[in-house]
Amino acid sequence: QKEVEQDPGPLSVPEGAIVSLNCTYSNSAFQYFMWYRQYSRKGPELLMYTYSSGNKEDGRFTAQVDKSSKYISLFIRDSQPSDSATYLCAPTGGSYIPTFGRGTSLIVHP
Amino acid sequence: ETGVTQTPRHLVMGMTNKKSLKCEQHLGHNAMYWYKQSAKKPLELMFVYSLEERVENNSVPSRFSPECPNSSHLFLHLHTLQPEDSALYLCASSAGTVTAEAFFGQGTRLTVV
């Protein structure tokens, strides 16, 4: 089993939709749960992260972690065409070295 | 700009060439990383340096050779590469044991012909 599983998509939604992006992981030692966004021909940039279980909100973005089921989610409200990118989940343990999923390609069309 | 600069942005090299990728970070971080990103695959961690010492080497072929002369600079020396090594090579840095946030450069798009 891979350490981090993420559906590569693409996920295509209309502008204004609520988007749900998800990952599952296998390593119980993961403590930090990060989401990176990668635009085409750019390096990934950190979008937000949570520590342990729970929710964290930042503007239109909400990150959610359920450690009991090893399930990570990122919700985007009122999605915009500028949100079109690849979203990578990256849980991390005590070594502080991120382990990345494959990324989900999101397309928001006007 | 992210504070992590990679050069060159694009590189085409033959299988018998020797070339080097360069990464520089201006964030005062003490950990630096090389990742390989191929199409339809997760980011693959190649090397980790913490305080200029290599702390991780994920079974990377010896045709890839990292060098970290100081905490701000990281190199990846390439020799006798194979076409399957064509990928986006990403450098990242972080504050190491303080925080898990990694900051990435723009990457070097490598094509081996």
A 89-108 residues with CB < 8 A to B: 90, 92, 96-103
Cα distance between residue B23 and residue A74, in whole Å: 30
Q: Per the CB < 8 Å rule, is B42 touching A4?
A: yes
pLDDT at A3: 86
pLDDT digits (tens, 9 = 90+) for B5-14: 999 999 999 9
Q: Does residue A70 come out as left (phi exceeding 0), alpha (psi in the -120 to 50 range) or beta?
A: left
Q: Which of B77, B83, B99, B110 is closest to B9 using CA atoms?
A: B110
Q: Which amino acid is at B69?
A: P
Q: Which amino acid is at A84?
A: S
Give the residue ranges of DSSP H helices in B25-112.
Answer: none
Q: Which residue of B has its CA nearest to A44?
A: B104
Report the percentage of chain B scoring pLDDT > 70. 94
Q: Is B23 helix (H, G, I), strand (E, B) or coil?
A: strand
One digit per residue, pLDDT tens: chain A, 110 residues? 568 999 999 999 999 999 999 999 998 888 889 999 999 989 999 999 888 888 999 999 999 999 999 999 999 999 999 999 999 999 987 777 788 889 999 999 99
- A88 touches B: beta carbon within 8 Å: yes
A 13-72 residues with CB < 8 A to B: 32, 34, 36, 41-46, 49
A65 and A53 in contact (C-beta within 8 Å)? yes
